[in-house]
Structure formats: C-alpha cells, structure tokens
Amino acid sequence: MSLPRTAKVPFGGDYNPEQWPEDVWKQDHRLFDAARIDLVTVGVFDWALIQPAEDVYDFSLLDRIIERAGTQGRGICLATGTAAHPPWLAKAYPEVTRTDFEGRRHRFGQRHNSCPSSPVFRRLSTELARRVAGRYADAPAVVAWHVGNEYGGACYCELCAAGFRDWLRRRYGTLDALNAAWYTSFWSHTFSDWEQIEPPSALTEHWRGPDHTAFQGITLDYLRFSSDAMLTNFRDEKAAIRESSPDLPVTTNFMGMYRPIDYHRWAPHLDFASWDNYPPDDGSAARMALTHDLMRGLKDGQPFWLMEQTPSVTACRDVNPLKRPGLMRLWSWQAVAHGADAVLFFQLRASRGASEKYHGAVIGHAGRADTRVFREVAELGAELERFGPVSLGARTPARVAMLFDWDSWWALEISDGPSRLVRYQQVVLAYHRALWEAGVDLDVVAVAADLSGYDVVVAPALHMLKGDLPERLEAVAARGGSVLTTYLSGRVDENDQAFLMDVPGPLGQLMGIRVDEWDARGPEVVNPVRLGAGADRFDVEARLLFELVIPQGAEVLGTYQADFYAGTAAVTRNSFGHGHGWYVAAGLDQVGVSWVVRQVLARHDLLGPYPDVPELESALRIAPDGTRLLFLLNHRVEPVEVTARTGGVDLLTGDRAETGQSLRLPAYGVVVLREDR
Ligand code: GLA
Ligand code: ZN
C-alpha cells in the first residue's frame, strides 16, 4: 500500500472546527472553496471531545464535521485523536503522564505527555483508534489515516524502565551479551540481574545533557528503546485501524531531522511518509531541501506528503518572523520539487485562544478573504489546480546518495570526546549544501539502503559502521563510483565500541589511509588547509577537529598548513577498483567542502544545470508515464535569468521555452518545465 489516491496534489491542512461555533463552519467552507482547498486534516487533538469519560464515546460533533467536509467535496485526512490525552485519563490513571530525565513525574497538561509504556495509555489509545476507524472507515471523504501527531520526547518512568528491560532481553538474550555490548567492565557496571538496569537519568553523577549520561551504552540503547516504544504505540493504533479499514493508507507526521526518533526504523510501518516543515529561519532553503530528501528517502523514494507548514508565522518560538510575500509559494513548490504529493498547512483557521492563537492560519480571527496571506494561499490553490495530477507519483532520478544515520548521530553526540562542538547535523548540512549548490539530484538514505544504483555516495561523519556497510561502500567504489567520507567516520561498531584496528576502521582499505591521532580545538583556532595542485592551489580554513592522516596508498589532495602537523594530509583520494574513496580529515569551511564535493561530482559529470547561479535550485522529477519535470526555484530576492538547457513548457504559465532561450525568474520565482520528450 502506498499513497492516498488523489486526483491532484491535495491542498489544505489542519482544521479544528470543534474550537468554534457551527455557524462559522459555513464561512470556513466558503473560504475553502475560494482558496481551492480540497483536503482537511481533522481530529488531531479530539480525544477529550470524542471520549469525554472512560466509558463514554460521543462522536456527534465529529460526525457533523466529517459529514460537512464530505458534502462540500473535500477529502479528509482523519486523525485518531491520540496526540494529547484528556484530563480524566490522567486523573484516573496517574501512570499515563511522563516522567522526565530529572526523575519528575509530570502533572497533567500540554501534549506529548503520554508514557509510551503505560498499559492504560496503550489500551485506551488503541481503543480510540479502533473506534474512530470503525466509525469512519466507510466515509467516502476519508482518504488517509493520521495516527498521533509528531511523536517525540521521551519518558523515564518505572513502566518505561520495565519496558526497557524487556526490550534489552529481546535484543541481547543474556546478561553476558548485554554486559559485553555495554562494556560494563568499565567503572564497575557489570549487571548480575536484569532488575538492576535503570534508564539513564539526570539523577546520576555524570549526566551530560537533556537525554544522556556518561554511561554511553545504556544511553544509546535507551534512545533506541524510546524510539521503538513510541513506534509500538503507532503500530498498535495502525493495527486497530486495519481491523475495519484494510485499504486506506496510514501515516503519522514526522519532523525532518528530529533526533529522538529513528525515522528509518519507523518508515517500513507507515504506508506513506509525511512531515511538518517549520524551518528555523528564512535562510533555510538548503536545509529544507535536505529534509525533504530525507523524508522521501524513508520510503525508498516514494513521494511524501507535506503535512504541515505555516502559511505565515509560527507561534512557539521566542521570535516568530513572517514569511515574506512569495516565500510560502516558493517553499511549497520546493516541497513538490523534492517529492511532496500534498501541500498542507497548519492551520486552516486560527484558534481563538490558547497557545496557538497567534499562529498563522489561512483564515485569521476576522474571517477575511482580503488579506495578503489568504490571497497568496488562494493563488497557490488555483495554481495547483491548474497543475493537476502531472507530478503525482513522480520520482527523483538521483545518482548521488547521502547517508543519514540516527545511530551515528546519537553515538557521535553522546560521546565524551573528541569534541562536543562537532555536531552531526552541522557536518551533514555542510556536505549537503555543497551538493545542493551544485544542483545535484540527491537521495538521502539509510545506511541499510541499496547503494548499487548510485555513482556517488557521500557519508558525512559516519561514526558507526553496522553490518555489511563497509563492503557495500567498497562495492560502490570497486565498480567505478566514488565514496566520500569525513573525520569521525568508521570509529565504532553497533555497540558503540571502537574497532580494534586503525581508524577509520573497516573503511581503512577503501580510503587508503590510517589515522593515528586527532586534535580538537575551539572554534577560534584555524588550521588552513591547502587544496589542489600547482597554480590552482588555494587555502581554506579548517576548524574544530583535525585528524592526523598517514596515507596508505591514498593520494594527498589537501594538506594542513599550521601546527606540528603542517604539511601532512587533510584531504585524500584513494583509487579502489575502478573508483575512489575520498577522505576529508578536518572540519573544512564551506568553500573547502564545496571544492571537494565538486571534484567528486565532476568525475561523474553530475553537476546540475546551473551549478554556478547562486541560490537557484534545480530538481528533477520523472512521472510514472515518463514525463520529466524540471523545477527551478529562485531563492533570492533578485530576479535571475538563465538559459534553458532543454525545450519545454512552463506548466505554471503555459509559456514555451526553446533550448537556449532565456528563462527569467523573478524574486522567489518558480518555473516547472515539462521537458520535451
Ligand atoms: C506542529 C503540530 C501542530 C501545531 C504546529 C504549530 O507541527 O503538529 O499541532 O502545533 O506545530 O507550528
Ligand atoms: Zn514511561
């Protein structure tokens, strides 16, 4: 099973009419028509509404909401309503609230507040999903199920501790195996009874951050357990839905690069991926591209839904800037360019009260259609209507893959040493930016993904090596591909234990190097790295981490320029089979990273159509019928003019462009060129 069947890219979003009087609903739907909104996500936080007491279910209001949306011709993404539990539940069963890392049992309130291991929560949330699905499975308007909402956080209560022990028993079988995996001979941690095992906690001497302690083995497994515990909640609800709805696709909305949940472990259990895009600032174009690609990679390149984005402002941040005119449209098309088969907002009408009353909405408190935000939404709605179904199911023909690995992220960041300043996401973002600026179509994939179709595999900070990954990376190079990795890669096995061999462990043969020492320095310390050869040599800056590389056959393409290791290798390329292993041993600045990445891409002739036009993004999708859609997105406030590389029709204007003819993109402009066959 895959994506919901829709006639075009669904457009709409979260709709909470239970928050306002019914006479407003008429106005809502009139405005939805004006904005071409054809999909509403309903019921995300409806638990208290539909189950006002343990033995009372009352669907009367939800019936009317769903009935109305249906008769107005709108599709419904129907939530199970379990995203926040009601007060009566917390009062009757205090076990359902979470306990935090500091050991404090939370009182009732907010959301993300349910203990994933609580049998009561599990039973009642599953029952709610069962009843919602049972009641509405045959409602013709319902096109998809939305389980929970933005699963996340963690709980450290006694029930979770017990769940953790069960999880550990399943993973390790014996205490001997667990002791070996956790390396408990260190600091007298050897366990002789499962009951001695406790979750990591701030109530220990060496706690290091909001979710980890210096006891790395247990911390890493608790992160894995927490992600799995919430996955069990999702799966429970999905199974309950399946009892009455065998065919409708099920999803839950993810959050992109969200550290607490290993989305790769979740992905097989979702019928389609969806996610909520709330970039940190308006300079996030590259980051959003990466996150879209990561979400598309969850289901093997299958398109995803953009489940939420704000039409204008967020509310939960200290400062909530407004999306400039044109930006919402541009970012919506960016999502489509990267594989979104739905464009949805949070939210359609603004809450009147509570913490999101100032959150942006398609319809504000005054209910006007003559606002800038409504107008831009309505224009996009009309544009998507004209665009029709052409992009549905289209795939990205990527020949470059970037590996993304939650285990490596966790292991790197819970580690004591070499440096807390090296952050996994920052390393990934730097390598991604270089690829993005080069206009490369990219898949961001799990380390377990099939790599046999890629010419280039980029693996930034691949700290942990699991299973046969080293062999599969070697195979990429052996058949003529390029593998690029960086400092702090190949350090630990799946138990977070160092390999008893030279760094970078099992990647050593492929990289043709060994690393004997490494030097971590504060951000103020720069060691210049000289790149290139002959007259083309130039220096870039390197910071934070400097590995001392001893080539074992690799060619040196960059050298440190300072300190006692001046003149030694910082960037290397090794011939391996018909291809190459590239190693970057230090935290190069963006210019340096881009130079390395472009060297790799050039060998495979993989630069995008406009690699030298700043912030002009290009992305290709190929529809099931072979139609090639080239998306061009101008992220700058200045217009840009480029030459069409192939003839085609801009599906947003209907204008033809011939090969070699000039294409003009205004500030924040978008072209979707249907290329001639
Ligand atoms: C998240 C949630 C929504 C809403 C928005 C606000 O994405 O899923 O319920 O709170 O944030 O930005
Ligand atoms: Zn718990």
474 lines ligand 1 (CB under 6 A): no
Does residue 574 have a known ligand-binding role? no
| Å from CA of 559 to ligand 1 middle | 47
Ligand index nearest the alpha carbon of residue 96: 2
Give domain status of residue 460, yes or no.
yes
Q: How many CB atoms lie within 10 A of CB 369?
A: 15
Whether the Cβ atoms of residue 651 and residue 333 lie closer than 8 Å to each other: no
The Cα–Cα gap between 4 and 1 comes to 9
Strand 11-15: give its sheet, edge to edge: 250-251, 142-146, 75-79, 39-42, 11-15, 340-345, 304-308, 274-276, 253-254
| Residue 550 near residue 519, CB atoms below 8 Å | no
Check pLDDT > 80 for residue 152: yes
How much distance in Å is there from the Cα of 242 to the middle of ligand 1?
26
Examine the domain organization and report whether 581 and 479 are in the same domain. yes
What is the total count of domains within the chain? 4
**SS3 label, residue 252:** coil
Q: Mean pLDDT across the chain, nearest whole number? A: 97
146 pLDDT band, cuts 50/70/90, is very high
CA nearest neighbour of 511 among 487, 491, 485: 485
Indicate whether 3 belongs to any domain: no
Residue 568 resides in a domain: yes
CA distance 81 to 47: 5
pLDDT tens-place string over residues 11-43: 999 999 999 999 999 999 999 999 999 999 999
Q: Which of 611, 569, 563, 571 is nearest to 593 (CA)?
A: 571
Quote the pLDDT of residue 348. 98
Ligand 1 geometric centre to CA of 96 (Å): 22
Q: Which range marks the domain in which residue 186 is found?
A: 158-221
- Answer yes or no: is the C-beta of 150 below 6 A from any ligand 1 atom: yes
The answer to the question of residue 610 being in a domain is no
User: What does the alpha-carbon distance between residue 620 and residue 610 come to, in Å, rounded to a whole number?
Assistant: 13
Q: Please give the DSSP secondary-structure letter assigned to residue 53.
A: B
- Which CATH number goes with the domain that contains 291? 3.20.20.80
The residue whose C-alpha atom lies closest to atom 5 belonging to ligand 1 is 346
- Residue whose tokens read 């990273």: 593
Asked if 81 contacts 124 with a C-beta cutoff of 8 angstroms, the reply is: no
Give the residue, out of 45, 149, 314, 362, with the most ligand 1 atoms within 8 A of its beta carbon, to mutate for a pocket test: 149
Tell me, yes or no, whether 494 and 465 share the same domain.
yes
Give percent of the chain above pLDDT 70: 100
The residue type at 100: D
Q: Return d(Cα 270, Cα 160) in angstroms, integer.
A: 24
- Considering the domain architecture, whether residues 261 and 210 belong to the same structural domain is answered as no
How far CA 14 is from CA of 44, 208, 568, in Å, comes to 8, 38, 56
Among 42, 276, 291, the mutation site with the greatest number of ligand 1 atoms within 8 A of its Cβ is 276
- Out of 360, 387, 414, a domain closes at 387
Show the CA angle centred on residue 37, arms to residues 34 and 40, nearest 5°: 140
Res 210: pLDDT: 83
155 has binding-site annotation:
yes
Ligand 1 pocket residue status of 345, Cβ below 6 Å: no
The mean per-residue pLDDT over the stretch 95-120 comes to: 95
Instruction: Give the pair of three-digit tokens for residue 458.
Output: 């980029």
Q: Which ligand is nearest to the CA of 45?
A: 1
Closest CA to 628 of 396, 300, 388: 396
d(CA 113, CA 250): 22
Q: What is the CATH number of the domain that holds 544?
A: 3.40.50.880
Judge if the beta carbon of residue 314 lies within 6 A of ligand 1: yes
Higher pLDDT, residue 211 or 292? 292
* Any ligand 1 atom below 6 A from CB of 437: no
Residue of the nearest CA to atom 10 in ligand 1?
A: 356
| Residue 16 · residue 351 · CB < 8 Å | yes
Task: State residue 534's pLDDT score.
Answer: 87
Q: Which of 166, 188, 221 is the last residue of a domain?
A: 221
**What pLDDT digit, counting tens, does each position of 262-279 carry?**
999 999 999 999 999 999
**Residue 63 clears pLDDT 80, i.e. is over it:** yes
Q: What is the rounded CA–CA span in Å between residue 7 and residue 391?
A: 11
Tell me whether residue 156 is exposed, middle or buried, using C-beta atoms within 10 angstroms of its C-beta: 0 to 12, 13 to 18, 19 or more: buried
pLDDT, residue 205, reads: 79
Instruction: Report, as an integer, the average pLDDT of 343-352.
Output: 98
pLDDT band at 208 (very low <50, low <70, confident <90, very high): confident
- Which stretches of 388-441 are assigned E, i.e. beta strand? 400-403
- Paired residues of 529 in beta bridges: 540, 560
Q: What DSSP designation does 99 have?
A: B
Domain assignment present for 61:
yes
Q: Between 22-34 and 60-71, two packed helices, what is the crossing angle to 10 degrees?
A: 30
Are 253 and 188 members of one domain?
Answer: no
Q: Which residues are catalytic?
A: 150, 308
**Number of neighbouring beta carbons within 10 Å of residue 45:** 18
Q: Are residues 260 and 284 in the same domain?
A: yes
Q: What are the backbone dihedrals phi and psi of residue 238, each rounded to the nearest 5 degrees, phi first?
A: -65, -45
* 289 φ/ψ angles, rounded to the nearest 5 degrees: -60, -45
Contacts of 279 (CB under 8 A, 6+ apart): 287, 288, 331
Inter-CA distances, 450 with 39, 299, 454, 490, Å:
35, 12, 9, 19
Q: How many residues does the chain have?
A: 677
Residue 609 lies in a domain: no
149 is in an annotated binding site: yes
Residue 375 to residues 167, 336, 441: CA-CA distances in angstroms?
52, 20, 32
Annotate 639-651 with b (16+ C-beta within 10 A) or e (fewer).
ebebebbeebebb
The two beta strands, 456-459 and 442-445, are unpaired
Which of 16, 77, 150 should be mutated for ligand 1, with most atoms under 8 A from CB?
150
Does one domain contain both 381 and 409?
no
- Name the DSSP class of 624: T
pLDDT at residue 394 above 90? yes
Q: What percent of the chain has pLDDT over 90?
A: 96
* The token pair that represents 130 in the structure block: 């069962």
Q: Are residues 510 and 366 in the same domain?
A: no
Ligand 2 centroid to residue 153 C-alpha, Å: 11
Type and span of the H or E element at 123:
helix 119-136
Ligand 1 neighbour 278 (Cβ under 6 A): yes
Retrieve residue 579's tokens: 């291809």
Whether pLDDT at 161 is above 90 = yes
- Please name which ligand lies nearest the alpha carbon of 312: 1
Q: Which of 603, 632, 667 is the last residue of a domain?
A: 603
The helix or strand, by DSSP H or E, that contains position 590, with its residue range, turns out to be helix 590-603
Instruction: With a cut of 80, say whether residue 1 has pLDDT above it.
Output: no
> Tens digit of pLDDT for each residue in 76-91?
999 999 999 999 999 9
Residue nearest (by alpha carbon) to ligand 1 atom 4: 346
Q: Are 664 and 673 in contact (CB under 8 A)?
A: no
Q: Name 152's Cβ contacts closer than 8 Å, sequence gap at least 6.
A: 112, 230, 255, 258, 260, 261
Nearest ligand atom owner, CA of 154? 2
Residue 1 included in any domain? no
Contact yes or no for 262/158 (Cβ under 8 A) = no
Q: Give the mean pLDDT of 434-440.
A: 98
Q: Is the CB of 149 under 6 A from ligand 1?
A: yes
Residues 635-654 pLDDT 10s:
999 999 999 999 999 999 99
Q: Is residue 483 domain-resident?
A: yes
Q: Are residues 247 and 367 in the same domain?
A: yes
Residue with tokens 């320095």: 521
C-alpha to C-alpha distance for 528 and 565, rounded to whole angstroms: 11
Strand 304-308 versus strand 340-345 pairing type: parallel
Work out which ligand 1 atom sits closest to the CA atom of 314.
12
Tens of pLDDT along 236-250? 999 999 999 999 999
| pLDDT tens-digit readout, 623-634 | 999 999 999 999
- In a 3-state reduction of DSSP, which class is residue 146? strand
Q: How far is the CA of 404 from the centre of ligand 2 (A)?
A: 28
Residue with token string 């390395």: 596
Q: Find the DSSP H helices in 186-243.
A: 216-242
* Contact assessment for residue 330 and residue 635, using Cβ atoms and an 8 Å cutoff: yes
The mean pLDDT value for 572-591 works out to 98
Question: Does ligand 1 lie within 6 Å of residue 359's CB atom?
Answer: yes
Supply the pLDDT for residue 238. Answer: 98
| Residue 157 assigned as binding residue | yes
Q: Is 253 annotated as a binding residue?
A: no
CATH number for 626: 2.60.40.1180
Ligand 1 in reach of 344 Cβ (< 6 A): no
Same-domain check for residues 431 and 545: yes
Q: Is 77 annotated as a binding residue?
A: no
Tokens of 545: 């981490």
d(CA 309, ligand 2 centre) in Å: 30
Q: Is the CB of 276 under 6 A from ligand 1?
A: yes
pLDDT of residue 258: 98
What mean pLDDT do residues 502-510 have? Answer: 98
Say yes or no: 276 and 423 in one domain. Answer: no
Query: How large is the greatest C-alpha to C-alpha distance in the chain, in angstroms?
Result: 80
Give the mean pLDDT of 521-545: 96
Q: Tell me: do 60 and 77 sit in the same domain.
A: yes
Same domain, 135 and 63: yes
| DSSP output for 427-481 | HHHHHHHHHHHTT--EEEE-TTS--TT-SEEEETT--B--TTHHHHHHHHHHTT-
Q: Is the Cα torsion angle 397, 398, 399, 404 positive or negative in sign? A: negative
* pLDDT average, residue stretch 212-225: 93
